[in-house]
Structure 1
Amino acid sequence: MKKAVVVLLIVFGLFWMVTDPHGLAQSAHKAGASGAALTGDFFSSVITFIRELE
């Protein structure tokens, strides 16, 4: 079952890459930017929490 889901995701990604490469690139860029912002916010919160413990 898990292999089928992975294969379907890969096939969908390849189909999307062939039919709309610009849209795929924009989505990947937005996802990367959101992930970077989330990581930055997380570590900023951890630093603030640690400083408050002192």
Structure 2
Amino acid sequence: MKKLVLLVLVVFVGFWMFTDPGGLASTAREGGGEGWDMVVSFFEAVIRFIGELF
């Protein structure tokens, strides 16, 4: 089942890459930016938490 889901995902991304490469790049860029913002927020929260302990 996992292999089937992975195969469908790869085929979908491949199809998207050939039909709308600009849209795929834009989505990946936006997703990367949102992911980075989440990582930054997480580490800021950890730093605040540790600062409150001491």
Fold shared per TM-score above 0.5: yes
Q: CA RMSD in A?
A: 0.3
Aligned-partner Cα distance in 2 for 1:3–1:35: 26
Q: Does 2:30 align with 1:9?
A: no
Aligned-partner Cα distance in 1 for 2:11–2:30: 21
Identity of aligned residues (%): 50
Normalised TM-score (structure 2): 0.98
Aligned-partner Cα distance in 1 for 2:35–2:47: 18
Gaps in structure 2 of 5+ consecutive residues: none
Give the alignment of 1:1-54 within 5 angstroms: 1-54=1-54
Give the SS at the match of 2:37. helix
Gaps in structure 1 of 5+ consecutive residues: none
- 1:50 Cα deviation from its structure 2 partner: 0.3
